[in-house]
A = this chain, B = another copy of it.
Amino acid sequence: MSLIYLLDLCAVGVCAITATLEARRRELDLFGVVVVAIIAGIGGGTMRDILLGRLPVYWIHDPLYVVVGMAAATLTFFLERRLAIPMDFFLLPDAIGLALFTVIGTSIALGANIHWFIAALMGVVTGVFGGVIRDILCNEVPLILRTDIYIYATASLLGAFLLIALDRLGVTHNLALIAAMTLVVAIRLAAIRWYIRLPRMRPYGS
């Protein structure tokens, strides 16, 4: 669990950094940026815990999650002008974060002894919901629902399915975790590389 815990904290930090960079588009002050960044990092797991009734939510008894999100956002806030980090730099860490949140969420849900399909959904919720709240707070249609993102939540869903399938087939949990995470990262990066999108609805009048 120790390695997973460390990676989980890293994923929270990466989420906070990308959220801070995203927040450049909005007139947010330091406090606003830090709040949006923390919520982006812990929002998915929080929603999963609420829906499953695992209360108090996971970060209530472990301040480190909030502290990591806070530190990552504050550093990014003050350094981003100097470093001029391009968003692309975070595509790989972001994909790994998505993969990690997905397998953690799915594992926790499976442990709560629920239907495999709902467990997979909980994996997706853990993976993507932080970003959804981040975008709602910034008053935008959530990025993952829009057409201008390449296969994001779908990668998470397929990874969750693979994890569950391997678990059922009796594969060691650690091996299943790694395989599922690899699938999520691979699909996500392939989608970005070859511009793969889901079909979209044509809006009125088009």
Q: Which A residues contact B (CB, under 8 angstroms)?
A: 23-33, 35-36, 46, 50-53, 55-57, 59-61, 63, 66-67, 77, 80-81, 112, 114-115, 117-118, 121, 132, 136-142, 144-148, 153-154, 197-204
Contacts and interface: CB of A to CB of B under 8 A. Distances in A.
Given A26-B141, A32-B146, A56 B66 contact: no
A108 to B, nearest CB: 12
A115 B66 CA distance: 12
A82 to B, nearest CB: 13
A111 to B, nearest CB: 13
A53 B47 CA distance: 13
A153 to B, nearest CB: 5
Contact of A145 (B29, B51, B61, B63): B29
Contacts of A202: 24, 81
A37 to B, nearest CB: 11
Contact of A117 (B66, B132, B147): B66
A121 B65 CA distance: 13
Contacts of A25: 203-204
Given A24-B203, A27-B203, A56-B51, A32 B145 contact: yes
B146 A27 contact: yes
A87 to B, nearest CB: 11
Instruction: Identify the 8 closest CB pairs spanning chains A and B, nearest first.
Output: A53-B55, A32-B145, A29-B198, A29-B200, A30-B198, A53-B56, A139-B141, A29-B147
Contacts of A81: 202
Contacts of A197: 29
Contacts of A121: 66
